[in-house]
Amino acid sequence: MAQAALGPEPSELQPLRSLVTQLGKRVAREKADSLKVQNHRLLAHNQELKGAIADIGSHQTDVYVYIHEKLDEYSDQIAAYEQRVAELEAEAESLRSDRDRDIAKGREDAKQEILRLTQEVDSLQDELARVQEFQTQREEVFAELDAEAKESILADTVQQLNDTTKRTLAENEQMTTELAYQSREVEKLIDYVAVACRRVAVRGQSRAGGRAARPAAPRRRIRHHVDRLAPLREGPGSVVPNMGASGALKWVIRLVAAVAACFFAYGIRTYAIDTYGRVIHEFDPYFNYEITEYLNAHGSEAFFKYFSHKHWSPIGRPIGTTSYPGMQFTSVAIYRTLQHFDIDMSLNDVCVYVPVWFGVIATIFLGLLAYEGFRSASAAVAAAVIFAVIPAHIMRSVGGGYDNESVAMSAMLITFFCWVRSLRTKSSWPWGVATGIAYFYMVAAWGGYVFVLNMIGVHAVALFFLGRYSSNLHRAYSLFYLIGTFGALQVPVVGQAPLRSLEQMGPAGVFVLFQVLEAVHIYARSQGMDAAAETSLRVKVFGATGVAAAAVVAVVWPTGYFGPLSSRVRSLFVQHTRTGNPLVDSVAEHQPASADAYWHYLHYTCLVAPLGFFATLVNRTDGKYFIALFSLVAYYFSARMSRLIILIGPVASILAGYIIGQGAEWAFDQLAGAIGLGPKDADDADASSSSSSSADSAADASADSSKGRKGGKSGARKPGKGSKSKSASAAAAAAGASDSDWLMDRLGVAAFLDWYKSSTGRAARLLAAAVFVFVTVAAGRHFFWYSHEVARGMSHPQIMFQARLQDGTVVMVDDYREAYFWLRDNTPEDSRVMAWWDYGYQISAIANRTTIADGNTWNHEHIALLGRCLTSEERKAHRMIRHLADYVLVWAGGGGDDLAKSPHMARIGTSLHSNNLVPGVTVDSARFREVFTSKYRKVRIYEVVNVSRKSKKWAANPENWLCDAPGSWYCPGQYPPALNKVLRKSKAFKQLEDFNRREEDDNDSAAGKQ
């Protein structure tokens, strides 16, 4: 209307209006498109929000369920606490009433007691007055008696002195006459023996009449007695050998060296104590210390009935019947002895020093064993000095290394010494009692007692086959076996093994063999049988005994009475990693020893010991046979298992000590003679050099040569049998002597002896002696330096060690103990810690927390379950771990950490379970939350999220334990029911130690047929 009033629109404005209209439409379309895009975005965001809300709702539901469960649990706990509070209040009220009643009664009793004491005090005062009066009278009487007694005693003393002086003078005159007579008789005896030596100097077949010459054994015996009687000629009436300046100096040197060996053995084992303090080392020693504390606190009876649910959760472990208790009892005995004498030393310090002390004891008995083997004091001292510092011995006896081997080495050497000592002479067999007692201690100290038992058994049967059987051998071995076996049966961890274990049946067979041999010999002697008849009887009896033994074995074997060889013993005869038990194969010490290992642990003795071994084949005695067999057996076993290099250390020291000791003694005689301390000529020097050792060896050889196959009762034939006259014997001796001279001439021995005694030979001997001394001293210094360097390397406790940072700073890495201290200080006391079985001992001893497994291998199935938990895919692992543990401890940071051990974990786990391993390493914080990382990142501890409290409570409930009898101490636990599904899927592991394997196989095959 307004436009009509204005008139028609100009034509110029119409295009402009059309353009404005189009622009408006375009703007409207763009706004509509923008709104559509925003709408689509809002729809998509709305969908995302709906999904998030759904997830949150689901999570809230889980949280609600979890909170509801926790509220129920807390409600139950609150109800229990309220009930407990009510009970405690009632109990407190009862106690208050009892207390008031006791106080009233106590007051009344106190009044009565005060009245009674008052009366007693009055009576005692009266008595005291009477006593004082009596004391005054007694002093007066005693004063009078004292004066009279002094006069009487003085007179009696003077008379007794006069009588004693007269009697002493008379006895001196009589002894002088007797000594002169004895001197004349000794001179006659020496002259007679010299004549006898010349008469029996012939060896082999005599030329006169073709008759056999006398055997060499009597000649050696007579020469031996001549050597022993020769010093008696040095003065009239002399009964003590005059060693001279060189002999006395030689014994002084030996004594000083023996004492030095003990100091060396002590000092070289204290590096760890000096550097790290009195700290227990490694893994097993911590467990040994823990049960030592238990033994000291609770006594032996409780120790052997100690079943701990703190170890091997949830099934527990019978500590007293799965541990060798010898070292623990020894440590407690030492500790209590020190306390008795008011010596302030803690039980921890005693355990730290036990390896050091027993290293010294082992050194002493090694020297004694070397002396019994070679009958040479110089060899014994040299062997002790070597053994004191040889790395093969130090490897198991450093301070703080509180392990069974540190005590067992001493027990083994004591047993071997007593055994060889029991064979020295015909009257030495009572030493078999000491051998049996020492073996009993060896059984209580270490599982390696099987080696000691079989070593003695092998030596005894070897002497039989070598024709050296005697009644002395029978008695010594019988005493050893009976006492030792009876003692071994008393050790709970051993049980019936001496009568059932296959690896111990050999020595039992030797015992039966010797009883049959001795019975046959006694019967034959009582019937007057000759050698042929006795041999025939022996064959018959042996045949009947063999048939009877085979029948018994055939009947008993199918019942499973005899067990097969254990995996560790079997690993000595099969290739490593093929024993059939991945748990045994996983131990690095079970690998064969390399040449580098021998050089590392034996050093120069590797080069010298073979010479000593060949020396055992000369002038053979029972002792030398033992040393030879010991060296062969120890070398074989150490070559099969590097851990057993500890066994070759003693015998290598003995063999090397014999060579060095004999060489040092010879060199000493040469040099002493040159400076005027010894005999003037070379021949006398050599004689004095051999007087202290070869005389005893000759005595043993002569005594041994009298042992025959008839129980050692038949010696050489009686001299004079078959001889027609003394002249015939003299002719035979002369002919034999000429043959001997001719043979020595042909071999050039006589010429060599002439040169040896000449001035040129004397100069050569001095030069050789000087060279020997120089080389021995130089090599010995390097050997000692090397041994100390190795000892320093072995003295790291492993639980803490020194390291060097990139900037060169030396730091003490104590990550492992820090982790255990964190567990001890920051976790509840009932916390269960899962870790690989190597660390269980330290967790229980240092952190004082429950472990899933420790270093003992008594239950393969449980360790396999642990291996499955640690190597399974994380989600599956969490499903199992939440029912077993509250925390998981992991060693990381290189070296022998859990990553390096994971192949063994998986191999052990898959021996029973199918792990379905997944490559890669991940950590899900929703399942395992990291709560601790050590300073140098060697250890990490994870808390298990959503632990099953129900399973934990069920496993800890004593009602769910499987006690063998009501009220019994033996109560193994059970796995929580939540793990039944996992356990049912595991396959049975038929390890070699399973005595019922054949029976199970038969049952399985029968079930398959049905």
Q: What is the pLDDT of residue 990?
A: 54
Q: For residue 929, which amino acid is it?
A: R
Q: Which of 75-79, 381-385, 446-450 has the highest mean pLDDT?
A: 381-385
Q: Which two tokens stand for residue 882?
A: 């939440």
Nearest to 926 by CA among 944, 940, 941: 944
Q: Which DSSP string do the residues of 646-692 spell out, in sequence order?
A: HHHHHHHHHHHHHHHHHHHHHHHHHHHHHTTSS-SSHHHHHHHHHHT
Cβ 417 vs Cβ 668: under 8 Å: no
Q: How far apart are CA 722 and CA 926, in angstroms?
A: 102
- The proportion of the chain whose per-residue pLDDT surpasses 70, expressed as a percent, equals 72
Burial class for 292, CB neighbours closer than 10 Å (0-12, 13-18, 19+): buried
Q: What is the pLDDT of residue 942?
A: 92
Cβ 490 vs Cβ 543: under 8 Å: no
Q: Express each pLDDT in 808-866 by its tens digit.
A: 888 888 888 899 999 999 999 999 999 887 888 888 888 889 998 887 776 778 888 88
Q: What is the pLDDT of residue 542?
A: 77
Q: How far apart are CA 884 and CA 954, in angstroms?
A: 11
Nearest to 769 by CA among 665, 692, 675: 665
Cβ 923 vs Cβ 873: under 8 Å: no
Q: Which two tokens stand for residue 300?
A: 């032996």
Q: pLDDT band at residue 568, thresholds of 50, 70 and 90?
A: low
Q: What is the pLDDT of residue 909?
A: 65
Average pLDDT over every residue of 116-126: 80
Does position 883 have pLDDT exceeding 50, yes or no? yes
Cβ 217 vs Cβ 715: under 8 Å: yes
Q: Work out the end-to-end distance of the chain between its first and last CA atoms, rounded to an integer number of angstroms.
A: 113
Q: For residue 660, which amino acid is it?
A: I
Which pTM was predicted? 0.68
Q: How far apart are CA 374 and CA 370, in angstroms?
A: 6
Tell me the β-bridge partners of 930: 942
Does position 800 have pLDDT exceeding 70, yes or no? yes
- A 10 A CB-CB count for 418 gives 24
Q: What is the pLDDT of residue 996?
A: 38
Q: How far apart are CA 737 and CA 726, in angstroms?
A: 16
Q: Which DSSP string do the residues of 326-342 spell out, in sequence order?
A: HHHHHHHHHHHHHHHTT
Q: Which DSSP string do the residues of 79-102 spell out, in sequence order?
A: HHHHHHHHHHHHHHHHHHHHHHHH
Q: What is the pLDDT of residue 533?
A: 78
Q: Express each pLDDT in 472-531 by its tens digit.
A: 999 999 999 999 999 999 999 998 888 888 888 899 999 999 998 888 888 888 888 877
Q: Which run of H or of E encompasses 216?
A: helix 216-229
Average pLDDT over every residue of 892-917: 67
Q: Express each pLDDT in 742-782 by its tens digit.
A: 555 666 666 767 776 777 878 888 898 889 999 999 999 99
Q: What is the pLDDT of residue 462?
A: 95
Q: What is the pLDDT of residue 212?
A: 40
Phi, psi values for residue 594, rounded to 5°: -100, 170
Q: How far apart are CA 458 and CA 506, in angstroms?
A: 8
Q: What is the pLDDT of residue 10?
A: 62
Does position 204 have pLDDT exceeding 60, yes or no? no
Min mean pLDDT across 205-219, 353-367, 378-392, 919-933 is at: 205-219
Q: Which DSSP string do the residues of 52-63 spell out, in sequence order?
A: HHHHHHHHHHHH
Distance of CA 163 to CAs 172, 271, 272, 482, Å?
14, 64, 65, 56
Q: How far apart are CA 228 and CA 204, in angstroms?
A: 26
Q: Which two tokens stand for residue 442?
A: 């060896």
Q: How far apart are CA 402 and CA 280, in angstroms?
A: 7
Q: 316 or 922: whose pLDDT is higher? A: 316
Average pLDDT over every residue of 354-380: 95
Nearest to 653 by CA among 413, 483, 478: 413
Torsion angle of C-alpha atoms 876, 880, 885, 886, degrees rounded to 10 = 50
Average pLDDT over every residue of 218-243: 41
Does position 174 have pLDDT exceeding 70, yes or no? no
Q: What is the pLDDT of residue 922?
A: 66
Q: What is the pLDDT of residue 1008?
A: 39
Q: Express each pLDDT in 459-474 by its tens digit.
A: 999 999 998 999 999 9
Alpha-helical runs (H) found in 390-504:
391-394, 404-421, 431-445, 449-465, 471-489, 497-500
Looking at every residue in the chain, the average pLDDT score rounds to: 77
Q: Express each pLDDT in 51-102 by its tens digit.
A: 788 778 777 777 777 787 788 788 878 888 888 888 888 888 888 888 788 8
Rg from Cα positions in the chain: 43
Min mean pLDDT across 723-727, 813-817, 863-867, 868-872 is at: 723-727
Min mean pLDDT across 104-113, 414-423, 872-881, 896-905 is at: 896-905
Distance of CA 410 to CAs 40, 605, 644, 997, Å?
89, 21, 15, 38
Tell me which residue has tokens 């050489």: 716
Q: pLDDT band at residue 916, thresholds of 50, 70 and 90?
A: low
Phi, psi values for residue 237, rounded to 5°: 75, 5
Q: 755 or 327: whose pLDDT is higher? A: 327
Q: What is the pLDDT of residue 691?
A: 43
State the maximum Cα–Cα separation within the chain, in Å, rounded to a whole number. 188
Q: What is the pLDDT of residue 729?
A: 44
SS (H, E, C) 14-54: HHHHHHHHHHHHHHHHHHHHHHHHHHHHHHHHHHHHHHHHH
Does position 215 have pLDDT exceeding 50, yes or no? no
Mapped onto helix, strand or coil, the DSSP state of residue 944 is: strand
Q: 686 or 917: whose pLDDT is higher? A: 917
Q: Express each pLDDT in 938-988 by its tens digit.
A: 899 999 998 999 998 998 888 888 888 887 888 888 889 888 888 887 665
Q: 331 or 540: whose pLDDT is higher? A: 331
Angle value at C-alpha 726, between 725 and 728, nearest 5 degrees: 70
Does position 642 have pLDDT exceeding 70, yes or no? yes
